[in-house]
Structure 1
Amino acid sequence: MTVTAILSALPQEQGSLVQALQNPERIEHAGRSFWRGQLHGQLLVLALSGIGKVAAASTSASLIERFGVQRLVFTGVAGGLGAGVQVGDVVLAREFLQHDMDASPLFARWQVPGHAVRMACDESLTAMLSIAASHGLALGNAGFDHEKTPPRLHQGLIASGDRFVSTAAASQQLRQELLAAGHDALAVEMEGAAVAQVCHEHGLPFAAIRTISDRADDSAHVDFTHFVRHVAGPRADAIVHAFLRLLPK
């Protein structure tokens, strides 16, 4: 049976998935705790990568090499970057790029040598996540009043880098630089593009979905813990449960 990995950066982003596992087994490897078990008839490995591209790449490699996973899904939070992407919305990745990669003039800016500038997610997994996202959006924003409009689903490009974009000036500069080169990034975070690269190199299907916790500006630190615990975590639970039910047995 195919083994599926669900990866998040922080415990709060993982929700209560560990508690939901059937026949859970905890395995310590390479400084990480991995949980193996079953859920909705699927063999599952849950892991926390920690923050940043190196941590995410290392954990992804362990999931593939040590645990033999055959598809990988990342859930968590991100900062909103695109027009109309608001706090509480969900962004489903279609592609990733590394916004802090710059090997020019040897390679194009943002290009990881040996790869395209933008790395595509798996179409089949992404389509199932899109369906599953409706279950998470149905939860609303759980009383989080930063935004009054109902949460929406966006699909497109996510930018990753080892920098927490937390000021309006930095957010605007990043968005403008990417847009000028034709890259309309909807969200920014710190892990997804690295996971995408590892999965591409191993020929592994990969998909990712993020709840927008802030607008990657001067309010990026406001109520983050509350939001992740009460909105992003429960939403990840709902999406992952629905996604697993859609996977072929």
Structure 2
Amino acid sequence: MRTAIVSAMHEELAAVLALMPDESRQPVAGREFWVGHLHGREVVAVLSRIGKVAAATTATVLAERFNVGEVVFTGVAGGLGAGVQVGDVVVADRFLQHDLDASPIFPRYEVPLYGTGEFRTDAALTTRLAAAAARALPAARLHRGLVVSGDRFVSTTPECRALQAALPQALAVEMEGAAVAQVCHDYGIPFAAVRTISDRADDAAPGDFARFVREVASRHSAAIVEALLA
């Protein structure tokens, strides 16, 4: 079975690629898919780029062209939950698009014609990923629950507070996971996602995010992926 490792930013994926001893580059749809092995497991690693459409395109190519058996998304997110702080790790058990609103035709957040706004991650793969994160980063606090996605970098305190009020169960906010979850649902591919908290999605987020991605994100992603596949 081939595992797809996906990240939205180069910094998040670079250290994963460094672990692959025999990767070969396969360009598809303007992206570079790196096919090889990690700890003897078949792997394809790819940079999805940022945002829901880019993430959906990437997930579709993984399903159609590379016939992956499971998809794992790693990267960073902004913390929303009251106890979710910078440096914590969030493993998603479900995703929702916080910027999707087809009301009054459909309820707010519901994906039209699906009858739901939430897409759950695969239970078994998510449990494996959470265990890998705990082994790889034993000093980090681990959370598991709802992660929300939208085509906006949430970086002001008023917007952060509005999201917390509208979606009080949300632990973190990012820009890709809900799209990948929906594509994997459509193709019947197990999906799991882990995010390290880079900022609190507030007025300090731009500086915190840039520094965290540069200094921490790639190292965390690689450690978790290696623990998952070892």
The TM-score bracket by the shorter chain reads over 0.9
**For residue 209 of structure 1, what is the amino acid of its counterpart?**
V
- Partner residue in 1 for 2:216: 231
Contact 2:199 2:208 in 1 (8 A): no
Percent identical: 57
Contact 2:3 2:44 in 1 (8 A): yes
Unaligned runs of 5+ in 2: none
| Aligned counterparts of 1:129 and 1:177: Cα–Cα separation in 2 | 28
| Aligned counterparts of 1:187 and 1:237: Cα–Cα separation in 2 | 20
1:239 is paired with a residue whose SS is helix
Over the aligned positions, Cα root-mean-square deviation in angstroms equals 1.1
Among 176, 187, 196, which residue is 1:202 paired with? 187
- Partner residue in 2 for 1:25: 24
- 1:53-92 to structure 2, matched below 5 A, reads 53-92=52-91
1:189 maps onto 2:174 in alignment: yes
Contact 1:36 1:46 in 2 (8 A): yes
Q: TM-score, normalised by structure 1?
A: 0.89
- Partner residue in 2 for 1:100: 99
Q: How far 1:62 moved relative to its partner?
A: 0.7
- Partner residue in 2 for 1:214: 199
2:73 is paired with a residue whose SS is strand
Q: How far 1:22 moved relative to its partner?
A: 2.6
Cα distance per residue 1:161-195 (max 9 Å; x no partner): 0011100100001110123xxxx100000000000
Cα distance per residue 1:184-229 (max 9 Å; x no partner): 1000000000000000000000000000000000000114333123
- Partner residue in 1 for 2:157: 168
- Partner residue in 2 for 1:244: 229
Unaligned runs of 5+ in 1: 141-150
| Aligned counterparts of 2:223 and 2:209: Cα–Cα separation in 1 | 20
Q: Indicate how the Cα distance of structure 1 residues 223 and 174 shifts in structure 2: closer, same or farther if over 3 A, else same.
A: closer
Contact 1:160 1:192 in 2 (8 A): yes
Alignment coverage as a number of residue pairs: 229
- Partner residue in 1 for 2:5: 6
Q: How far 1:15 moved relative to its partner?
A: 3.6
- Partner residue in 2 for 1:154: 143
